[in-house]
Structure 1
Amino acid sequence: MNKQILIIIFLVIIPTIHASLKYPPHYLQLWRILANSKNLSSSPYHDAEGYNYLDKLSTNKYLHNNKHEIEKAKSLIFDDICVKISSLNVSKKCCEDTKTFLGSLVHRYPWALQMLDSYGKPPSGILEGDFTFPGSFDECNSAKVAIPANSTEFMLQPFKPKYCQVIFPIKALTSMNDMLVGGSIGGLHMGACFPDSCQAKDIQNLIQYDIHLLPKSISGNISSVVQCEEDRGYDSKAIISLIIISIFLLHIFLGTLYDVLLQSGKSSSNAAAQNGINNSLPTSTQDVSLKEKEAHVNCNGTKTPSKSDEELDAVSKFLLTFSVYKNAKKLLSTNQPDGTLTCIHGIRFLSMTWVILGHTYIFGMPIWRNLTIIQDFAKNFAFQGIANAMVSVDTFFLLSGLLVSYGNFKALEKTEGKFGWVYYYIHRFWRLTPPYMLVMMVYIPLFRYWGDGPYWPKDGFEINYCKDTWYFNLLYINNFLSDPQKGMCMSWTWYLSNDMQFYIISPIFILALYHSEIVGFVLIGVFSLAQLITTGVVSTTEKLPPVMFSQDSDISQKYFTDIYVKPYIRIGPYLIGILVGYLLYKNKCKMRMNRYVCAVLWMMATISAVSILYGLYNLNNGYAMTQDTASFYTTANRSVWGLCVGWVIYACCTGYGGYVNTILSWKALIPLSRLTYCAYLVHPIMMYYFYLNQRYSLHLTYVLATFLFFGFMIMAFMIAFIVSMAFEAPMIGLERLILELKRKKKNNN
């Protein structure tokens, strides 16, 4: 990587700084090609006279005072050049329009100068990691081309300007970008403005020709890729997606309208009932209340039947599952039944905000202009909590295992040990999959139409629109792709695959604990030990660091592939969650504990959690860590974190949480907790949209990151509410409706 960067800096950037006072590098080099087009087979710079004339044209003083030399330069430009450079495989139309542009520069037409000015130019801060020189995307596209046909008339727009980026790939940056923005090319990016008749291949041929003019020892290390802004017509995938979205919106509109009308009718009936009671009953009995929900009283005081929700037909109930009014009322309700583990709502919400905080820094890496500052941030003691935000995912694994365990133990108690295998798996698949697949259906084909700009990938973020890998997501096995970095669709959903895989094998532990506590404990212990050994062996044999992001992109990729997304590495906190759920069920959320023992356990949990979060502080400050120490940290940190959070939940649920439980059980967090699944699905998409819609790179500071974090957090939950109302809540309602109809059918038989 260092060699490539130095080559680009000295041979591309530094000459450009000098040339930028005249013309941008690519057009200056193009002029050289055109000036020497009379004999392309010979040395490209043999025509010193032609090149000197073009070079002199770059100053306003020369343009103003030397008309003779301007005319001579124009003759060089317009002397049938397109025929003479045909060996470069540049289309004739592109060449002709480029000649028009260059000639217009000679005449100093404002639109030509505007196109020229929109070129990317090297800024300060290259050594801080600013490898993108986007130029002005909007200035290029807004240029109004006008060529004089004669002295009085103008022929408007023989071509339109088109923004392109010339990219000199750098392997290390490309590898890092693959982890963050699938399919993007990392390297030195330079914005350019060309006629729209020039295709990316035409421009690349010209650039590559220039590169080949360099000595072979240099040109062999430099390649170029050209990406241009193109028209984006709606393809079949986008049209199908829009049709499905329209169908959902129609159902939501009809369901909400029907629900509002239904509620309005009930309100009118209740008002009439109250009037009827007051008018027909004696004063001494006016305090009688109506307890029969199935009946109303008319103005004459007589009962008239009315339809309750239970009496509605199946079609009406189907429509009501899409009602925003009904679903929002349920989501925003803070009422909790007895036995609810209320502290979990706060932990779930705070963990989701922690995920968003970490991703605020990570997902912005492709556009941070001072990328090296993150190394300085990592040296800050307070920043360790952000640098280690990845353990927040282990909190979710713990919560998932706990809820699956606790809920199923209570269900087994009611059914006297009978386990509903079919419903167990169908329920989970139906709970997760419809919102997941519907978000994917909206995101993959439509996202590329939502933005533009120098950083916006014209084909979206997913490689080949997930054509070859989408079914891995549907089957929840995308974390087992041979090359997850390049093939995983919606890469952040690796978590869902792990969670589903853990859920599939959970009955082994739950049933073992229910029927034989000793067998259950032994089984969980064996799996936990196997996980620890596997993690230690993998991290040691592959010499992996204790964190995913490192200066060596290959190591980062290997860590992600072999450690970060594999279920046999991540199952530790989930197993701890199953144990905590079992203990809460067994003890009925009650426990007598000596206050000193409780204080010691709180202290141990706090110290352990702080050690996990801040244990890499010395490593981030340049102190060496042995491989054995790194492997030990990688092996133990997730399970230890799970034990710490597990203790917090257990203490809060058994009456030893104090103010911690009061905060985590705050009722305002309950609706936000219910939105965390949808927030997890959509927040990376929202971040991609913001970051890659920028026109210029951003300078990362704590202040900027703080404002971005709060903005992302608020927007993520707002969008999650919309997604929940559109995709999640209706599917939950449909599941309940199907079960209700099935139960009624069974009772009738």
Structure 2
Amino acid sequence: FDPGKWTVCQSRFDDDPGGAQYCYIHLNITAGNDFFTVGACVPDSCSADDLNRLPALNVSKSLHLPVDYQRGLIADCTAASYDIPWGTWVFVSVYIVLISLLVAGTLLDAQLSHNIFPFLNRGSRNQGYGEIVGINDSDEKESLITRKNEKLEDKHSSLAVRLLLSFSFTYNYSRLTAPSPPGSFDALNGVRVIAMMFVVVGHTFYFLWDTMAIMNFQTVAETAKLFRFQIVVAGFYAVDTFFFLSGFLVAYLFIKELKSKGMSVKTMVMFYFHRFYRLTPSLIMGMFFFYLITPYWSNGPCSSRNL
């Protein structure tokens, strides 16, 4: 893969939009993949068919490939689209709303807990969120968090306040950092987090390779032999570890729930529904972010809008 001088070609296009265009030239072989890809800056009047017939691009002969380049050569002069689709605007709007709710909920929680805006209090009572100092015991901390969480569900509280407090960063952080109940597998959860970090690192390097953003393949091959690079090479085993621990923990919690509630159709339906609504929103937001936002982070020959 040789993208050529994409910046130079783009600057000529900016100076004279009708003067130059950037094209990709692929040499396809029977394997079905793009074996050889180069970038070319050609006049705007040229089409993809014109490039396919250029005898100067005799790449099959220079590579000593038994392929007729006139049949295996495919040019693509599709210009990158700079128009932002409506789906991106909708997704950005949703993100702005969520961030606004997070900020508003955090400020409301701080006001109810610590009265950071005294002029808004106007002599009303503290709503049960008094600041407590000198708590060191983990059990007392857990009881305080429990009492605060129960306060959010007070029937006398308005629905709008409870809904807004559910977006509070401090409230959710206190729940995440609360002491684990007896019988929890903290060690296994920790190993699963470490395995997930290995998976993320491995996929990061894999995507770099897959998007052809790496030019020095020989250096990459030598780097893969280093000891410190084995965290990437052995990423496949981290995937197995992550899936095994995730399945084990889910099975353990489900069996524990069956012992207390018994087997029933409702239990099975709620089990699958809980897994669905717990994971699907995060997956959808991640997919939309990847496909609708990340293409506008970069602009170049390896950008998803140009490939």
Tell me the SS of whatever aligns to 1:165. strand
Contact 1:165 1:192 in 2 (8 A): yes
Aligned-partner SS, 2:23 = strand
The one of 38, 44, 47 equivalent to 1:190 is 38
* Superposition deviation, residue 142 in structure 1: 3.2
Which residue pairs with 1:424 in the alignment? Answer: 271
Of 323, 329, 336, which residue of structure 1 is paired with 2:168? 323
TM-aligned CA deviation for residue 372 of structure 1: 4.9
Q: CA RMSD in A?
A: 3.9
Does 2:82 align with 1:235? no
Output aligned runs, 1:251-400, within 5 Å: 251-265=101-115, 308-311=151-154, 312-331=157-176, 333=177, 335-365=179-209, 366-372=212-218, 386-400=232-246
Call closer, same or farther: CA 1:172–1:452 in 2, change over 3 Å: farther
How far has the Cα of 1:434 moved from its partner?
Answer: 0.7
What residue is the counterpart of 1:55 in the other structure?
none
Which residue identity lines up with residue 315 of structure 1 in the other structure?
A
Q: CA deviation at 1:458?
A: 1.3
| Structure of larger gyration radius | 1
2:5 pairs with one of 121, 131, 136 = 136
Cα 1:267/1:379, change in 2 over 3 Å: closer
Q: Distance in 2 between matches of 1:213 and 1:425?
A: 57
Count of residues in correspondence between the two structures: 272
Counterpart contact for 2:21–2:42, Cα < 8 Å: yes
Deviation of residue 382 (structure 1)?
7.6
| CA offset digits 1:114-161 (Å, max 9, x no partner) | xxxxxxxxxxxxxxxxxx22233333333498xxxxxxxxxxx55466
Would the alpha carbon gap of residues 450 and 442 (structure 1) be closer, same or farther in structure 2, given more than 3 Å must change? same
Matched, 1:203 2:203: no
Q: 1:141 and 1:386, CA in 2 relative to 1: closer, same or farther beyond 3 A?
A: closer
1:402 aligns with 248
Name the structure 2 match of 1:168: 26
Contact 2:29 2:72 in 1 (8 A): no
Rounded Cα–Cα distance in structure 2 between residues aligned with 1:245 and 1:174: 40
Secondary structure class of the residue paired with 1:308: helix
Partner AA of 1:429 in structure 2: F
Alpha-carbon distance in structure 2 between the residues aligned to 1:245 and 1:426: 25
Deviation per CA, 1:425-455: give whole Å up to 9, x if none. 2111111001111222232233322211111
- For residues 67 and 233 of structure 2, what CA distance do their matches in structure 1 show? 40
What one-letter code is carried by the residue in structure 1 that aligns with 2:4?
G
Q: Is residue 10–residue 22 contact of structure 2 (8 Å, CA) maintained in 1?
A: no
Counterpart of 1:452 (choices 296, 299, 307) is: 299
Contact 2:165 2:171 (8 Å CA) reproduced: yes
Distance 1:395 1:414, change over 3 A: same
Q: Separation in 1 of the partners of 2:16 and 2:233?
A: 53
CA 1:166–1:386 in structure 2 vs 1: closer, same or farther (change >3 Å)?
closer
Paired residues of 1:211 and 1:222 also in contact (CA < 8 A): no
Checking the alignment, whether the CA contact within 8 Å between 2:13 and 2:21 is kept in structure 1 is no
Q: Report the TM-score, using the length of structure 1 for normalisation.
A: 0.32
CA-to-aligned-CA distance 1:649-698 (integer Å, 9 cap, x gap): xxxxxxxxxxxxxxxxxxxxxxxxxxxxxxxxxxxxxxxxxxxxxxxxxx
8 Å CA contact 1:140, 1:163 repeated in 2: yes
The answer as to whether partners of 1:141 and 1:161 remain within 8 angstroms in 2 is no
Deviation by residue 1:16-39 (Cα, 9 ceiling, x = unmatched): xxxxxxxxxxxxxxxxxxxxxxxx
Cα deviation for residue 350 of structure 1 reads: 1.6
Higher helix proportion: 1
* Cα distance change on mapping 1:328 and 1:211 into 2, 3 Å: farther
Structure 2 Cα separation of the partners of residues 238 and 414 of structure 1: 46
Is the contact between residue 165 and residue 227 of structure 1 (CA under 8 Å) also seen in structure 2? yes
Identity of aligned residues (%): 24
TM-aligned CA distance change 1:402 to 1:230, over 3 Å: closer
Q: Deviations over 1:615-670 (max 9, x none)?
A: xxxxxxxxxxxxxxxxxxxxxxxxxxxxxxxxxxxxxxxxxxxxxxxxxxxxxxxx
Relative to 1, partners in 2 of residues 1:405 and 1:222: Cα closer, same or farther, differing over 3 Å?
closer
Aligned counterpart, 1:277: none
Residues 434/381 of structure 1: CA separation in 2 closer, same or farther (3 Å cut): closer
Tell me if structure 2 keeps the 8 A contact 1:211–1:219. Answer: no
Partner of 1:318, secondary structure, is helix
Residues 232 and 367 of structure 1: CA distance in aligned 2, closer, same or farther (over 3 Å): same
Contact 1:144 1:160 in 2 (8 A): yes
Match of 1:226 among 76, 83, 104: 76
- Cα deviation, 1:11-65, whole Å, max 9, x if unaligned, reads xxxxxxxxxxxxxxxxxxxxxxxxxxxxxxxxxxxxxxxxxxxxxxxxxxxxxxx
SS in 2 for 1:190: strand
Q: 1:158 to 1:432 in 2, by over 3 A?
A: closer
For 1:499, the equivalent position in structure 2 comes to none
Alpha-carbon distance in structure 2 between the residues aligned to 1:363 and 1:172:
25
For the 8 Å contact 1:141–1:163, the answer to whether it is kept is yes
Q: How does 1:115-154 map to 2 (within 5 A)?
A: 132-143=1-12
Of 86, 91, 94, the residue aligned with 1:244 is: 94
1:247–1:361 Cα change, 3 Å: closer
- Tell me the distance in 1 between the aligned counterparts of 2:94 and 2:29: 40
SS at match of 1:345: helix
Counterpart CA distance in 1 for 2:253 and 2:57 is: 70
Q: Alpha-carbon deviation of 1:336?
A: 1.7
Return the offset for 1:375: 5.2
State the AA in 2 paired with 1:339. Answer: G
Paired residue secondary structure (1:420): helix
Runs of 5+ consecutive residues of structure 1 not aligned to the other structure: 1-131, 146-156, 176-185, 275-292, 294-306, 461-749
Q: Is the 8 A contact 2:80 2:306 kept in 1?
A: no
